[in-house]
Copies of this chain bind each other. A is one copy, B any other.
Amino acid sequence: MQTQTTPTAPQPQTTGRSLEHPRREEIRLEDVLHALSEPMRMRVVRTLAEEPGELSCSVFDLPVSKSTTTHHFRVLRECGVINQIYRGTAKMNALRRDDLDALFPGLLDSVLAAAALQEGRGGGDRG
């Protein structure tokens, strides 16, 4: 974090400022549910669940500003739902499936299934 403005760039630091993640045992159910209760974040999580690997923030194209997008990704990371790392100029996101499944077996799957069902009923956006 100490941005010393090192002009000669000693170590390239492998393209990453550090990002804080809660450890598995620190993840709390209420935080996960709260994170998932926000439609925009649910959308992100559902997209991430469909994809095998990592996705950069920019591929989501949410109908909100860039700063709001940053905010939502941060909430998801800080509550332990996603893992984020920098790769070059992009920031890659991945669902913390293993951790969530270990902590709350079946939860993520049923939430995802519920979201899909609701969308199928036409409740995808707003009534």
Q: What is A's interface to B at a CB cutoff of 8 Å?
A: 25-26, 28-31, 33-34, 36-39, 42, 103-107, 109-111, 113-115, 117-118, 121, 123, 127
Interface of A: prevailing SS: helix
Per assembly, the copies of the chain total 2
Provide a sorted-by-A list of 11 A–B residue pairs whose CB atoms are within 8 angstroms: A25-B121, A29-B42, A29-B114, A29-B115, A33-B111, A34-B37, A104-B114, A104-B117, A104-B118, A106-B109, A107-B114
Name the one of B30, B42, B114 contacting A39, with C-beta atoms under 8 angstroms: B30
Beyond A104-B114, A106-B110, A107-B110, list 11 extra A-B contacts (CB 8 Å).
A26-B127, A28-B123, A29-B123, A33-B111, A34-B37, A37-B37, A104-B113, A105-B113, A106-B106, A106-B109, A107-B114
A118 and B33 contacting across the interface, CB-CB below 8 Å: no
A28 and B118 contacting across the interface, CB-CB below 8 Å: yes
Chain B nearest CB, measured from A80 CB (Å) = 12
List the B side residues contacting A34 at CB < 8 Å: 33-34, 37
Chain B nearest CB, measured from A31 CB (Å) = 8
